[in-house]
Structure 1
Amino acid sequence: MQEPPKIEFPCPGYPIKVLGEAGDTLYSLVMEVMDEHAPGFDRERTTVKDSGKGRFQSVTVYITATGVEQLETIHQALRANPVTKVVL
């Protein structure tokens, strides 16, 4: 068995994808969480994609990951809102 790759911190350009219900709430939530836990992330690289039927969206941001604790905190903050379905 192969071990997953180890991340070296800080890790610039670390992608976080959030899947959830389409609408302004998801995007606003992601921006708020990133501003709090990954200040200075590149908003210009943020992408929003709608699902085929438009019911769901994915929001992808790129941050400089500073450690496992930061990533776990971001994940928990995003999952705390019911609009979020999956955080990758």
Structure 2
Amino acid sequence: MNSDDTLKLQKIEELLTAILAIIPQGLNSKSQFNILPQKELLRQLNISPNTLKSWENLGLKRLEPPIEGTRCIFYEIKEVLRFLAD
């Protein structure tokens, strides 16, 4: 196995770990909308806010309530999974 193959396998492992971290939350969530607050997503995926911002720049959709002055940001679990799978 060459180094490219090793890197690809590491990437796959990282994505599967991230997906497994999110799925139980989504399946057991009491929320009917299957969304996670930004803080919880950062915690579950063990990523930095800068990484999440980079993902948004690459196309990950964020949800913001249409209420002025609120700083709450949410993410749909299915959108995060879709983004990680691409």
Q: TM-score, normalised by structure 1?
A: 0.30
Higher strand share: 1
Q: TM-score, normalised by structure 2?
A: 0.31
Higher helix share: 2
Relative contact order higher in (CA < 8 Å, ≥ 6 apart): 1
